Amino acid sequence: MKRLMWVLPAVLLLAACSTAGTTASGPGGTVSTAGGAPFGANDAAVAKGAPPQPGNGTANGVPVPQAFDPTRSIILTANISMKASDPWATAEKAQSIATDLGGDVIGLNESGSKDDRIAGLTLRVPSQQFTEALRRLRALDADVTSSTVNGQDVSDQFVDLKARLAAKQAEEQRYDALLTRASTIDEILKIDSALSNVRTQIEQLQGQVNSISSRTQFSTISVSISTAAITPAPAPTAAWDPAKTAAQAFATLAAVLRGFADVAIWMLVFGWIPLLALALAVVLTRGRRQMRPAA
């Protein structure tokens, strides 16, 4: 009995340790392991190689709306305005980004002169490459002035269209079965008219489904590029140079002295003409005074 009393606690201790080493699932799908950090359902998906549940993210400063549920259908669009020294060259680089990512260019407009060019283009890229396309566009040699990213959830509309399409296809099959069993011309004409109407509706619904599917598989990015204003470089301010100032002062003094010398030479050459005219006027004046008393 004494031996059993000693062995029983040891057995219970070993059982408790083995229970602590096993995993136990908690509420909310979280699994905890002994001596480890909490292991969530999203982490389990990553461990299995599945993509984690996405949340709201950013692409080089541009917000990118993403569905919390990857099964949702999201139409992503973006508008980016930028300024570049050569908008046409930047537009060519933007086109290369779209084609490199498996997309294409569905619109291009270039106008303006050499110093005032404008470029506008519309790119379509796979939705999986939408974030990467935005990152590469913002990495171009241009200043982004504005950027807008929009996401439209069309999952409910897409599911509704597919359900309506399935119902119309089932209705078409019923009319086909009735058409094979029709016995009179009147029944055949009525069934054929109803069948034609149903097939028209099926084509319309199929077109809407294909349109939404294409818009969710490919995202649209509109880019507008204008010429960046070139700011003139400020004129360098020259440092004060006493020697240069003295040289300018001596040059000005020499020019003044040369001017005075020129005036003196002109007076020497042509100064006798006024003196001669003055002497002639004096002689004439005296001659008139002498003639008056004689008269």
- pLDDT digits 0-9 by tens, 186-207: 888 988 899 999 999 999 999 9
Say yes or no: 167 and 140 in one domain: no
Q: What is the pTM of this model?
A: 0.51
Say yes or no: 89 and 145 in one domain: yes
Say yes or no: 223 and 126 in one domain: yes
- In the listed set 205, 227, 249, which residue is the last one of a domain according to the structure? 227
Helix extents (H) in the chain: 2-21, 41-47, 87-100, 130-138, 155-181, 185-217, 242-270, 272-294
Say yes or no: 70 and 109 in one domain: yes
- In the listed set 164, 193, 227, which residue is the last one of a domain according to the structure? 227
Three-class SS of 155-205: HHHHHHHHHHHHHHHHHHHHHHHHHHHCCCHHHHHHHHHHHHHHHHHHHHH
What's the CA gap between 16 and 36, in Å, rounded?
18
Please report whether residue 136 resides in a domain.
Answer: yes
Q: If pLDDT is split at 50, 70 and 90, which confidence band does 221 have?
A: very high
Say yes or no: 211 and 82 in one domain: no
Please report whether residue 294 resides in a domain.
Answer: no
Cβ contacts of residue 62 below 8 Å, gap of 6+?
Answer: 78, 80, 134, 138, 147, 149
More confident residue, 286 or 224: 224
Q: What is the mean pLDDT of the chain?
A: 75
Say yes or no: 160 and 191 in one domain: yes
| Other C-beta atoms lying within 10 Å of the C-beta of residue 78 | 23
What's the CA gap between 72 and 130, in Å, rounded?
16
Please report whether residue 252 resides in a domain.
Answer: no
* CATH code of 143's domain: 3.30.70
Say yes or no: 73 and 132 in one domain: yes
Question: Which residue range forms the structural domain that includes residue 188?
Answer: 156-216
Placement of tokens 């020259």 in the chain: 238
- pLDDT digits 0-9 by tens, 271-292: 777 777 777 887 778 777 777 6
Please report whether residue 240 resides in a domain.
Answer: no
Please report whether residue 81 resides in a domain.
Answer: yes
Question: What is residue 253's predicted lDDT score, i.e. its pLDDT?
Answer: 83
Please report whether residue 247 resides in a domain.
Answer: no
Say yes or no: 85 and 168 in one domain: no
Please report whether residue 285 resides in a domain.
Answer: no
Say yes or no: 223 and 80 in one domain: yes
Please report whether residue 237 resides in a domain.
Answer: no
Question: What is residue 113's predicted lDDT score, i.e. its pLDDT?
Answer: 80
- In the listed set 184, 200, 227, which residue is the last one of a domain according to the structure? 227
Say yes or no: 107 and 182 in one domain: no
Question: What is residue 197's predicted lDDT score, i.e. its pLDDT?
Answer: 93
Say yes or no: 93 and 223 in one domain: yes
How many domains are there within the chain? 2
Q: If pLDDT is split at 50, 70 and 90, which confidence band does 236 have?
A: low
Q: If pLDDT is split at 50, 70 and 90, which confidence band does 262 have?
A: confident
Say yes or no: 68 and 208 in one domain: no
Placement of tokens 């409910």 in the chain: 156
- pLDDT digits 0-9 by tens, 53-105: 344 445 444 455 544 456 778 888 999 999 998 899 999 999 999 999 999 99
